[in-house]
Amino acid sequence: MLDARDKHVREQWIKVMELRLVREELVKCQRSEGINALAQCKELSERYLDMLKTAKVEGWRIVDTAQFKSS
């Protein structure tokens, strides 16, 4: 049970850190492109928005409640 918790939380943090990296790249792109940022950084901004929906840390209680429901 503890291994499942650790794995779940670790995977969530990895998603959050990936999101942070994409955000940093988006900010760099926006700063370097200036006025053309909307056109030049569109792919990064869409990727960031897609990742933003799923990259959340819910904690280990989600794993515990899911295991109790299945038992």
Read off the pLDDT of residues 13-49 as tens digits, 9 standing for 90 and up: 999 999 999 999 999 999 999 999 999 999 999 999 9
Q: Which two tokens stand for residue 50?
A: 């897609």
Residues 6 or more apart in contact with residue 67 via CB below 8 angstroms: 1, 4
- Say which amino acid occupies 25: E
| Helix ranges restricted to H, 1-71 | 2-33, 37-40, 42-54, 61-70
- Say which amino acid occupies 7: K
Q: What is the pLDDT of residue 19?
A: 95
> Domain of 46?
2-70
The number of folded domains in the chain is 1
pLDDT in tens, 49-67: 999 998 887 766 665 555 5
Q: What is the pLDDT of residue 58?
A: 76
**71 or 18, which is more confident?**
18
